[in-house]
Chain A
Amino acid sequence: MRKYSVFAVAREAMRGHKGWEAQWTSPEPRKEYDVIIVGGGGHGLGAAYYLAKEHGITNIAVIEKGWLGGGNTGRNTTIIRSNYLYDESMDIYEHSLKLWEGLSQDLNYNVMYSPRGVMMLSHNVHDKQSFQRHVHANRLYGIDNEWLTPQQAKEFVPVLDISASARYPINGAALQRRGGTARHDAVAWGYARAASDRGVHVIQNCEVKGIRRGPDGAVTGVETSKGFIGAKKVAVSASGHNSVILSMADVKLPLHSVPLQALVSEPMKPIFPCVVMSNSVHAYISQSDKGELVIGAGTDQYNSYSQTGGLQIITHTLDAICELFPMFRRVKMMRQWGGITDNTPDRSAIQGVTPVKNLFVNCGWGTGGFKATPGSAHLFAYLIAKGEPHRLAAGLTLDRFRTGRLIDEAAAAAVAH
């Protein structure tokens, strides 16, 4: 792998940009791998990278049905934060946030992590009590989060309407300054390039059609559209399709898949300095480096794999955006899309072993998996290598739905999906 640097840019500028090489190789699959990771999104590619980098396992294939980052990695609103309520969540999201801070240097790939701040608006007494509880819980745990008055919020986001006559009056806000955004495609590409450099096979356009198991019940490989590929371990990280893949090994998961929609506006000059989320009226918004307003809407209420969603979900969010930021009322929306999120009953992720030997799962990240990408990938790699979860992910087991030790972030989510 040729290192990216300012000198590389200068060198290529001198010779007509003819020296850039492919960022990752596209080899034919081997007969057998030590580890097969199903799903070429950020979590899967990242796990392959950390397996190679930290656990010395390089005989790995990442198998992707479509193209890299074509699923939820490329469909989210790129928000990064760690201001969750419960210890188990704070552990993993803060671990992730710390990895985001050094990710571009680690991968030699600019993932454009931008700690521009994530602000959560409070509109009523319940919001205020709930968010202040978050602020206190976070600070006690060593995570930055602070309470702002409406005036302080307005100073931070000048386009915010904090007037008393506003449709959704604002009585304060919680601000995590280290939160922000990153470039979603670059995360998938950066991990793919770094993993490929360490010998990982990235196999695109290859659909997993079955999971083969031996006489003892342990997995022996996967049936794919490119034939059977053997594996000592199979790790599934397929986002909305985790239930579909795991059902091939007769494992039932506590998941339901629903579309989550997002949309972007026409590009504008820089106007919006951070990420603003509102739980009560359901809206979240930021401005990308290209200048588009990136807006997240809600999930549909019914199970669906359609990668689209109801129009009423978007209009509901845009109604709220127009009330909170009256100056955006005349902005045109350019594109809208949906991604399929896999949601658990307690809205916390599952990362752990399955009842099938040598089959691991990373699922249930629901509507908030992007921010977890480096942390989840890092801990998933540990799980795959050691066969047991890392201390920071110990609470995320599949077993918690049997024991009842749930992590009830359902009541603690940033927005009510």
Chain B
Amino acid sequence: MLLIYCPYCEEERSELEFRHGGDAHIARPTNMADISDEEFQEFFFLRDNPKGLIFERWRHIHGCGRFFNAARDTVSDKFYMSYKAGEPKPDIPGVTTATEKTVETYEATEGTAK
């Protein structure tokens, strides 16, 4: 069982309190009705499913109830860090190179989504 740090509650809690929420940093298109089938497939179904570093969403469903993001290794299941929703994809020293900070989570795009 994982121990997960909730960035809102600011403490480590057991995995039983959390619900996994799929990949993080997948922006919901703001023009959903206009995109092609290929673009919808890319957004909705296709995933990297990486062996190694993954950025994923968690929800502290039996705690504060909020979504947040985490960086974890899918081989060791070790968490690198967790961070609040809406924050840009972080650099993990020694693991990733710098990434663009344009892609945000559902919560961040909530206002502009149609």
Interface residues of A (CB under 8 A from B): 241, 243-244, 247, 252-257, 301-306, 310-312, 342, 345, 401-404
Choose from A243, A312, A403 the contact partner of B15 (Cβ within 8 Å).
A312
Contact across chains for B48 and A247 when beta carbons are under 8 A apart: yes
How does the 8 Å CB contact mask read for B69-80 relative to A, with 1 for contact and 0 for none?
A: 000101111000
Q: How far is the CB of B2 from chain A (nearest CB, A)?
A: 7
Q: Which residues of A contact B72 (CB under 8 A)?
A: 302
Q: How far is the CB of A207 from chain B (nearest CB, A)?
A: 12
Contact A311:B37 (CB < 8 A) given known A241-B51, A256-B49: no
Contact across chains for A402 and B41 when beta carbons are under 8 A apart: yes
- Let me know if B81 is at the binding interface, CB within 8 A: no
Report the Cα distance A189→B44, complex, angstroms: 39
Closest to B58 in A: A302
Closest to A257 in B: B49
Q: Size class of B's contact patch?
A: 20 to 34
Q: Which residues of A contact B41 (CB under 8 A)?
A: 254, 401-402
Contact A253:B49 (CB < 8 A) given known A402-B37, A402-B38: yes
Q: Which residues of B contact A403 (CB under 8 A)?
A: 37
Q: How far is the CB of B24 from chain A (nearest CB, A)?
A: 12
Q: How far is the CB of B32 from chain A (nearest CB, A)?
A: 14
Choose from A253, A311, A401 the contact partner of B1 (Cβ within 8 Å).
A311
Contact across chains for B1 and A256 when beta carbons are under 8 A apart: no
Report the Cα distance A176→B41, complex, angstroms: 36
Choose from B37, B47, B54 the contact partner of A254 (Cβ within 8 Å).
B47
Report the Cα distance A267→B47, complex, angstroms: 42
Q: Which residues of B contact A254 (CB under 8 A)?
A: 41, 45-47
Report the Cα distance A254→B74, complex, angstroms: 17
Report the Cα distance A302→B3, complex, angstroms: 13
Contact A302:B56 (CB < 8 A) given known A256-B49, A310-B1, A311-B1: yes
Within 8 A of A (CB), among B13-31: 15-16, 19-20, 22
Q: Which residues of B contact A304 (CB under 8 A)?
A: 74-75, 77
